[in-house]
Every structure is written in C-alpha cells, then in structure tokens.
C-alpha cells in the first residue's frame, strides 16, 4: 500500500537487520543487564509468544528488574522501607489474579464513565494543534492527549505528570518519583476523589500505599505515556505516506486496521516486557538455567519476517488478522487495550479529517527518539499541515 520506505526509529532498523536468516543466532541474544547479570534478549516472534503463554515455566521478573532499574537502597538512607513492592505486571499466582481482577474492574468502569469526555478532549487537542500550520506533534498532540487521560482517568495532577515524565525520559532511578507518588496516594486515601486510583483503593483496601503507587506508575508510564507515543508514531508513519492518508480519509472503516498496523510497525514498546525462567528451559536452541532474566524485544518480534510477510513494510492492507506483541500476551496481557484503541483511533480520525495533507517538516534522518530501550517514543515530531477548511 505505501509506496516508499516509511522511516521509523533507526536503531530498530539496525536491530531488525541483525536478526533473521542471515544471522539466526541474533534471534536470541545474551545481553548484560546491570546487576541482574546476563539476560537473554528474545527477538523471535514464535519463541516470544511461547514464553509469554507459558506461565508455569516463565514467571514475572519483578525482583530482577528492580535491581536493573531502581537505585541501590543504600544511596537513600532516609528513604522508605526497602522491602520490595511490585506492580501487577511484576507478580504471579494468586496475588496477580487478585490485583488484575480489581484493576480490570476499575479501568473498565472508569473508561466507560469518562470516554465521552476523553473523546472531546482529543478532538479539542487536535483542533487546537491544527491552527498552528506547522507544529511539533509530540508537544501539541501527544502530550495534551496524555495529560487529559492522566487527569480524567487516573486523577493525576500536572505536578505528578511532570515528575513521571522526567523519570521516564531522563532515565531511572525512580525512588524519588515513588516517594512523591506515595505521598500523593496517602493523600488520596485520606481524601478519595472521582478517579481510577481512588476506585482501586476502594476496590482493594488491602493494597498498601506503596503498592497503589507502584500500580499508578505502571498505569501512567507503561499505559498513558505509551498511548501518546502510539499516536505520534502513527502520525509519523502517515506523514510519510500520503496514499494511506487519503485512503483512510476516504474510508474511516479502515481506522482499526491502521491502528493495528501502527502498533506492529511502529510499536511504542521496544524492550519493555520481562520474564524470568522458573526452571531450566531451552530458548532458541540455548540451554537456559532457572533464574535467567528474559527480555522480549517486542518491536523486533513485530518485524519478524517468519511471522509477517513483508514485515518491514508499513501496509494498511494487512487487515487485523495478525498478532503483534505490542500489548503483550497471555496472563499479563494489557488491560488498557480498549481505551488505547478508542483514543488512538479518535486522534488519527480527527487529525485526518481536519487536514487535506500533512508531512514531515524535517528530514527523517533528523528525527529524535527518547533515549530509552524500553519504549519507542519521539522527543519531537515537526510536521506541516494543510487544513481541510
Ligand atoms: C499503546 C498503549 C499501551 C501499550 C503498548 C501497552 C502495553 C502493555 C504491555 C506490553 C503489557 C504487558 C506487560 C507484561 O507482560 O509484562 C501491558 C500490561 C498492562 N497494561 Fe498496558 N499498554 C498500553 C496502554 C495501557 C493503558 C492506557 C492502561 C490503563 C489504563 C494499561 C494498563 C495495563 C495493565 C494494568 C497491565 C498489567 C497487566 C497484568 O500484568 O496482568 N495499558 N501493557
């Protein structure tokens, strides 16, 4: 469908070309992960799918990942208790089931309650952005949409949102952020508000403040901020593909296919899913001992040529009959899929119907992504737009 080559993140292209028949070993790569030692990076779609589906052999990697991303406790003698606390995606078994069930209930209820307002916010953000003529889609579209979801859905204020962004884009450690979040949660517990985090505390009062804070961080960063990156990644693809722009402008029923293909081709998640082997196992031909950290190379798996024909092509005609790994899979799969699809489709619909054409205002080689291995999120996206009226 698209005629040219749609440029996405250069480092992803480099990582995908080192994978594949020319270098089969690159499908499973030993990788040093700080204090967690050597982990295995899994770039193979079939192996990754098998790992994510087999919860008996491959468990969550909570403690191992905490040692990679969090600051050593001794550097913060005054900080909170050093007992580790995990978000839902870092737990297994009954604890995971209990928190996941509660989160599913509060997310679904809240999304239903605020979806009309969210859609209106998206529409307003796009209308405001389109008055600019030339704009940075990250600052003028992605950030305001993320702000709206953080505030309407989660109840986070501007100060917290800014602290969260600083932590994720200027790199971990996250202890200071967590202390700020715990203070905020404590306050919310004393004074519940009309938001998802207050709902979660009411639904599961046994979760302590630090556990609620850990889950809030997950929802805000791995959820809302990634949702915004998905939207700007979609605009990046479309800005280079006028043919797909006009096809979707002329036929909005193609929007779900468009969103699905953006999720695959321009995944906002890079190396963002982790597991740990619970028992010895074989992965991509390697004998792997128990206790090994596994890193799923989500964006590379999504370009696996043995799973997707013409995998390096951004192609609307793929439909939706394929399984990318952007939302994970199996027992820990994403609970934000419906709200993500709703908001992303609404944003791209509003953007396409408000323009007759748009394109990149810089050379693709000048595009800058945030320097994090966990996600693919643009630092800025300069574009020009021609408005519909
Ligand atoms: C483009 C947007 C999003 C992407 C790409 C995404 C991706 C993911 C991925 C890959 C996982 C699996 C993690 C794992 O297996 O370890 C996950 C889990 C999760 N996501 Fe999302 N997410 C998005 C948006 C959201 C939103 C908006 C919410 C909430 C409102 C959300 C809530 C969750 C929760 C609670 C989990 C943990 C589920 C569990 O461990 O049982 N996500 N997400």
Per-residue pLDDT band at 170 (split at 50, 70, 90) = confident
67 CB contacts (<8 Å, ≥6 apart)? Answer: 34, 35, 36
1 domain-assigned: no
- Ligand 1 centroid–CA 334 distance in Å is 4
Mean pLDDT within 47-51: 97
Task: Please give the pLDDT value at position 175.
Answer: 73
302 domain-assigned: yes
343 domain-assigned: yes
Per-residue pLDDT band at 165 (split at 50, 70, 90) = confident
4 domain-assigned: no
Task: Please give the pLDDT value at position 207.
Answer: 97
- For ligand 1, is residue 111 a contact (CB within 6 Å)? no
Mean pLDDT within 346-363: 98
Task: Please check whether residue 232 is in contact with residue 381, taking contact to mean a CB–CB distance below 8 angstroms.
Answer: yes
227 domain-assigned: yes
Q: Count the domains in the chain.
A: 1
Residue 305 CA from chain centroid, whole number: 23
**Over 50: is that where the pLDDT of 78 sits?**
no
Residue with CA nearest ligand 1 atom 25: 223
What is the gyration radius of the CA atoms in the chain, in angstroms?
Answer: 21
Task: Please give the pLDDT value at position 18.
Answer: 63
Q: Which of 367, 314, 229, 266 is nearest to 6 (CA)?
A: 314
242 domain-assigned: yes
Per-residue pLDDT band at 168 (split at 50, 70, 90) = confident
298 domain-assigned: yes
User: Which of 222, 295, 344 has most ligand 1 atoms within 8 Å of CB, for mutation?
Assistant: 222
181 domain-assigned: yes
User: Which of 66, 217, 274, 336 has most ligand 1 atoms within 8 Å of CB, for mutation?
Assistant: 336
- For ligand 1, is residue 220 a contact (CB within 6 Å)? no
Q: Is the dihedral of CA 96, 99, 101, 104 positive or negative?
A: negative
Among 67-81, 89-103, 175-189, 230-244, name the one with the lowest average pLDDT. 67-81
Per-residue pLDDT band at 38 (split at 50, 70, 90) = confident
Looking at per-residue pLDDT, the higher value among 77 and 153 belongs to 153
- Ligand 1 centroid–CA 227 distance in Å is 10
Q: How much of the chain is in helix, strand and coil states, percent to nearest 5?
A: 55, 15, 30
- For ligand 1, is residue 88 a contact (CB within 6 Å)? yes
Task: Please give the pLDDT value at position 261.
Answer: 98
Q: What domain range is 100 assigned to?
A: 12-78+87-387
Residue with CA nearest ligand 1 atom 36: 334
Q: Is the dihedral of CA 174, 176, 177, 179 positive or negative?
A: positive
Cis peptide before 122 (omega within 30 of 0): no
Helices (H), 170-220: 175-190, 196-203, 209-217
Task: Please give the pLDDT value at position 224.
Answer: 92
Task: Please check whether residue 28 is in contact with residue 285, taking contact to mean a CB–CB distance below 8 angstroms.
Answer: yes
CA distance readout (Å), 56 to 22, 92, 246, 275, 281: 33, 10, 47, 11, 11
Rounded CA-CA distance 225/57 in Å is 31
Note the pLDDT tens digit of each residue in 104-113.
999 999 999 9
Task: Please check whether residue 359 is in contact with residue 327, taking contact to mean a CB–CB distance below 8 angstroms.
Answer: no
- For ligand 1, is residue 326 a contact (CB within 6 Å)? yes
Locate 5 and state its tokens. 């080559």
Q: What are phi and psi of 215, to 5 degrees?
A: -70, -30
**Over 60: is that where the pLDDT of 2 sits?**
no
Task: Please give the pLDDT value at position 322.
Answer: 95
- For ligand 1, is residue 340 a contact (CB within 6 Å)? yes
Locate 98 and state its tokens. 């209990």
Ramachandran assignment for 320, one of left (phi > 0), alpha (psi -120 to 50 degrees), beta (any other): alpha
Is the pTM for the entire model greater than 0.85?
yes
Termini Cα distance of the chain = 27
Mean pLDDT within 249-259: 98
Ramachandran assignment for 93, one of left (phi > 0), alpha (psi -120 to 50 degrees), beta (any other): left
Q: Which atom of ligand 1 is nearest to the CA of 153?
A: 30
The CATH number linked to 135 is 1.10.630.10
**Over 60: is that where the pLDDT of 45 sits?**
yes
For residue 246, give the H/E element and its range: helix 242-250
Long-range contacts of 156-165 (CB under 8 A, 24+ apart): 156/184, 156/197, 156/216, 156/220, 160/184, 160/220, 161/220, 164/217, 164/220, 164/221, 164/225, 165/225
């Amino acid at each position: 469908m698209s005629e040219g080559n749609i440029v996405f993140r250069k480092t992803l292209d480099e990582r995908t070309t080192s994978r594949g028949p020319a270098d089969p070993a690159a499908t499973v790569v030993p990788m040093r992960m700080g204090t967690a030692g050597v982990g295995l990076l899994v770039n193979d779609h079939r192996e990754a799918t098998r790992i994510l589906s087999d919860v008996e052999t491959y468990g969550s990697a909570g403690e191992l990942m905490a040692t990679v991303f969090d600051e050593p406790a001794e550097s913060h003698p005054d900080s909170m208790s050093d007992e580790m606390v995990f978000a839902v995606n870092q737990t297994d078994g009954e604890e995971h089931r209990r928190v996941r069930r509660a989160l599913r209930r509060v997310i679904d209820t809240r999304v239903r309650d605020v979806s009309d307002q969210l859609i209106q916010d998206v529409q307003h953000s796009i209308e405001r952005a389109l008055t600019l003529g030339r704009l940075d889609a990250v600052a003028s579209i992605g950030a305001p949409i993320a702000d709206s979801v953080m505030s309407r859905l989660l109840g986070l204020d501007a100060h917290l949102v800014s602290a969260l962004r600083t932590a994720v884009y200027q790199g971990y450690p996250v202890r200071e952020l967590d202390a700020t979040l715990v203070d905020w949660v404590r306050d919310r517990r004393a004074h519940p508000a009309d938001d998802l985090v207050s709902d979660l505390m009411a639904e599961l009062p046994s979760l302590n403040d630090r556990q609620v804070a850990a889950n809030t961080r997950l929802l805000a960063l791995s959820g809302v901020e990634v949702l915004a990156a998905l939207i700007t990644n979609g605009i990046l693809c479309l800005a280079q593909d006028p043919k797909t722009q006009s096809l979707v402008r002329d036929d909005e029923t193609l929007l779900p296919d468009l969103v699905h293909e953006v999720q695959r081709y321009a995944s906002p998640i890079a190396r963002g899913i982790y597991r740990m082997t619970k028992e010895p196992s074989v992965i991509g031909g390697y004998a792997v001992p128990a206790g090994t950290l596994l890193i799923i190379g989500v964006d590379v798996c999504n370009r696996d040529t043995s799973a997707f024909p013409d995998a390096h092509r951004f192609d609307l005609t793929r439909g939706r009959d394929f399984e990318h790994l952007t939302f994970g899979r199996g027992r820990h799969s994403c609970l934000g899929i419906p709200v993500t699809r709703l908001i992303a489709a609404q944003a791209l619909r509003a953007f396409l119907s408000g323009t007759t054409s748009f394109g990149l205002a810089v050379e693709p080689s000048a595009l800058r992504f945030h320097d994090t291995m966990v996600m693919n999120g643009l630092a800025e996206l300069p574009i020009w737009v021609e408005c519909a009226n």
